[in-house]
Amino acid sequence: MVNLSRYTLRGMATVGALAGFAALALPNAQAAQTSSTTKTAATAATATTADPAIPNGAQPIVIGNPPAGDGVTTKSSLTNVVRYNRLYKTGPITPSKCKEVNVSLRTYTGVNQYLSQLFRCTYAEWALPLKQAGAAYKVAPKLVVTTARTINSYCGTVTDTAFFCAYNGKSWIYMPTGQIMSFWKSSPTLARAYATNTLAHEYGHHVQWLTGILNASWQRQRAFSTYAAQLEESRRRELQASCLGSASIGANKRYYPMAGGLYQQWVYVVTNSGDQPGGVRDHGSLKNHRFWSFAGFNAARSYAVAGNCNTFNATSAYVS
Ligand SMILES: [Zn+2]
């Protein structure tokens, strides 16, 4: 079984009841971005100062199928859905031309304003590729920005982590403000990069969900007989979400702009995200997280941006 230790189900009775909604109704754990400890330039120079840590992502759940689009209603095999999805043949992500909101992330109000604009812009960016992929591109997740440390969702109870949840044809992105506001105190630029990357990653899961990849991947994972194979499937899913997220950031990099100090801190975030030494190997090594993040980010000039994020067609070494 997949490691479910990072979250608690609401209760087996609830999950069982939900199982009636769809064939794919078993609870799926879907990991959010995970990150290692990270350093700002300031703390790196001070050996006695603890490095700010980027928290591990939650293991949110997907319950039920996405809204139907003609690209996700075929009877393709699960492997075809994840490996030869129409998403990979879609054109460039549309730059939203949105600028980063110039606001302090010290308070909930600021974080909410910052993330809300980025959310709207990310929705706009993905509309065309999702339409081309035959997905229900108009369906937006609901963004929930909250100061609560513990979040109750249809996917269970999650603490101190951003996560994506889908249930009964709807989806949510939960963004707790605690870590962002905490980073802001030591490094505002790191806070901005972390907030931007985290939301983009979670939106990547929404793209996976709408295209059928998320559910198919979870079905594949359950079908694998070994824990090692299940973990690899989890890593393919997570690394792809990071790649898709980075692709949306990269598509708009001239306008946001993702440059200068913000770009440097973003590089730091993606370079230090991934499985921690001794931890569960469900997100991918730091090296591979960086690899796929750049594969997405630098795809901006490619004819098929999302196609650069096909982690399901990569050899095991690239998803280790
Ligand atoms: Zn994730």
The pLDDT value given to residue 276: 82
The pLDDT value given to residue 90: 92
Determine the distance separating the centroid of ligand 1 and the alpha carbon of 48, expressed in angstroms: 32
The pLDDT value given to residue 57: 60
The pLDDT value given to residue 196: 98
Determine the distance separating the centroid of ligand 1 and the alpha carbon of 101, expressed in angstroms: 24
The pLDDT value given to residue 76: 73
* Residues in a beta bridge with 8: 157
The pLDDT value given to residue 310: 96
With respect to residue 87, please indicate whether it lies within any of the assigned structural domains.
Answer: yes
The pLDDT value given to residue 244: 96
Token pair of 203, please?
A: 């939106």
The pLDDT value given to residue 152: 94
What is the DSSP code (8-state) at residue 167?
E
With respect to residue 135, please indicate whether it lies within any of the assigned structural domains.
Answer: yes
Write the CB contacts of 23 (distance below 8 Å, at least 6 apart in sequence): 65
Residue 144 parent element (H or E):
strand 142-146
The pLDDT value given to residue 243: 96
Determine the distance separating the centroid of ligand 1 and the alpha carbon of 234, expressed in angstroms: 9
The pLDDT value given to residue 302: 60
Q: What is the mean pLDDT of each run of 10 residues along the chain (320 residues)?
A: 30 25 27 36 32 52 71 75 94 93 98 98 97 96 97 92 92 96 96 97 96 93 94 96 96 95 96 88 94 90 75 96
* Residues in a beta bridge with 29: 61
With respect to residue 166, please indicate whether it lies within any of the assigned structural domains.
Answer: yes
With respect to residue 6, please indicate whether it lies within any of the assigned structural domains.
Answer: no
With respect to residue 8, please indicate whether it lies within any of the assigned structural domains.
Answer: no
DSSP letters spanning 65-104? PPPP-TTTSS---HHHHHHS-GGGG--PPPP--PPPP---
Tally Cβ neighbours within 10 Å of residue 146: 15
Ion ligand 1 nearby residues (CB, 5 A): 31-32, 238, 241
With respect to residue 294, please indicate whether it lies within any of the assigned structural domains.
Answer: yes
Give the Å distances, CA to CA, from 75 to 36, 70, 92, 131, 178. 39, 11, 27, 19, 43
Determine the distance separating the centroid of ligand 1 and the alpha carbon of 205, expressed in angstroms: 6
Nearest alpha carbon to residue 190 among 109, 254, 263, 113: 263
With respect to residue 315, please indicate whether it lies within any of the assigned structural domains.
Answer: yes
Determine the distance separating the centroid of ligand 1 and the alpha carbon of 197, expressed in angstroms: 11
What is the count of structural domains for the chain? 1
What's the CA angle centered on 69, arms 211 and 217, to 5 degrees?
A: 25
Domain that holds residue 39: 21-319
The pLDDT value given to residue 228: 96
Determine the distance separating the centroid of ligand 1 and the alpha carbon of 57, expressed in angstroms: 7
The pLDDT value given to residue 54: 56
With respect to residue 4, please indicate whether it lies within any of the assigned structural domains.
Answer: no
